[in-house]
Structure 1
């Protein structure tokens, strides 16, 4: 079965993925900077800052996971396998790729994953 993404310009998705990757890397750099700032001497403020740091660390983890998924999608583009489900091998719908350009799974496999 012909992959519908192969009939369209995968460069479009590559540009989207690279732009998202750049955005995430900028955010992660800001998170690292924010986490590295000096903390207040006031104990109540330190407690609030610690809670904020936990949230920032969580955002950082989510960003790192998305970066790995984007890098894997860029690798699939380079290998000519972008838009093909990594589980069943069937084409991933264009609509799904537009919504989640780094997805490795078709809708059915993602639902059962």
Structure 2
């Protein structure tokens, strides 16, 4: 099992953050497009906008998680569960470098 060190995690997280911010900007551009004058097309576009708004919310949450992980690296607390203070399994960090909770605490979130 490999271990994701803060030195390895930081560039991965910074790349992930840049990708998420680009995705959020793309969604914002799509949402800024004016609605079609045709009322039947407007209904479809409004449904699309609702989906885009939901995606934007998810992306914003992911951005927040990544920024918090980068802050934990800077503070020397990366890989430590923010709830119980235990170590986060290296395999979990490999899969989700932004993880803030160990598996036990994450499973309690349900």
Normalising by structure 1, we get a TM-score of 0.90
- Residue equivalent to 1:97: 93
Tell me how far apart the structure 2 counterparts of residues 9 and 26 of structure 1 sit (CA, whole Å). 26
Tell me how far apart the structure 2 counterparts of residues 31 and 88 of structure 1 sit (CA, whole Å). 36
Stretches of structure 2 that go unaligned for 5 or more consecutive residues are none
1:72 and 2:71 equivalent? no
What count of residue pairs does the alignment treat as equivalent? 107
Normalising by structure 2, we get a TM-score of 0.93
Task: Identify which of 96, 102, 107 aligns with 1:106.
Answer: 102
Runs of 4+ in 1 over 2 A off after TM superposition: none
Tell me how far apart the structure 1 counterparts of residues 25 and 53 of structure 2 sit (CA, whole Å). 12
Give the alignment's Cα RMSD to 1 decimal. Answer: 1.1
Q: Any idea what SS the aligned residue of 1:105 has?
A: coil
